[in-house]
Amino acid sequence: MKAKLLLAGLAAVGGMVATGVANADTDLIYSFNPGSYFDFSDGPTYSANGTFVYDATKGIVTDVNYYALPGPFDFSSATTVSSGDVIFTGDGEGDGNEYIFLQSLALGGTDNITGGNYWFEGVSEGGVTAGGSVTEIGTAVPEPATWALMMFGLGLIGLGLRTRREATVA
């Protein structure tokens, strides 16, 4: 009876943990690769640096830590136009850099930047030359509830091993 209860508990916990881990894998962390840039036709070229998270389940970019050098261009938020088109903003004045990617960010791996736009005070100022690439550098850490379920499952396994009867040798 105890064995059946233990197996049923382990199956339930295993299913919940697998679901939690699968959801955590939908958050893809990207980093701009060296050589990525944003170039105004009548001004300087800016190198793109930093990281951002793409939530493949919701189809949005979150946790932006992107900056362009040289210059005081720090962007902390993003508007996701599509899985391959993201506008990075964050200065509070509506200025931003839009990157157009070759493929969907939901695919992970490395994605090439194929173009871009510059936004000034919330209005697109047209296309600019942009290039380089971003690379997925990892996935987000599972939520605390996932860890709690995993620890509960390990505890059930330990309890089952501890209470198991040992065979007596005659």
Per the model's pLDDT, the better-predicted residue between 16 and 155 turns out to be 155
Backbone dihedral angles phi then psi of residue 131, each to the nearest 5 degrees: -160, -175
Following CA atoms 124, 127, 128, 131 in sequence, which dihedral angle do they give, to the nearest 10 degrees?
A: 110
Do 137 and 29 touch, CB atoms closer than 8 A?
A: yes
Would you give the distance in Å from CA 133 to the centre of its chain?
A: 16
pLDDT band at 147 (very low <50, low <70, confident <90, very high): confident
Average pLDDT on 98-116 reads 86
**Model confidence band, residue 22 (pLDDT cutoffs 50, 70, 90):** very low
pLDDT score recorded for residue 25: 56
Mean per-residue pLDDT over the chain, rounded? 76
Helix axes 144-162, 2-24, angle to 10 degrees: 160
User: For the chain, what percent of residues have pLDDT higher than 70?
Assistant: 73
Q: CA 100, CA 81: separation in Å to the nearest integer?
A: 10
Read off the pLDDT band of 169 (50, 70, 90).
confident
pLDDT tens-digit series, residues 32-76: 889 888 887 667 788 888 888 888 888 888 888 888 776 667 787
Q: Output the six-digit token pair for 108.
A: 């992970």
Task: Give the integer Cα–Cα distance in Å for 134 and 113.
Answer: 8
Write the CB contacts of 93 (distance below 8 Å, at least 6 apart in sequence).
121
How large is the average pLDDT for residues 111-122? 83
Tell me the backbone φ, ψ of residue 159, rounded to 5 degrees. Answer: -60, -40
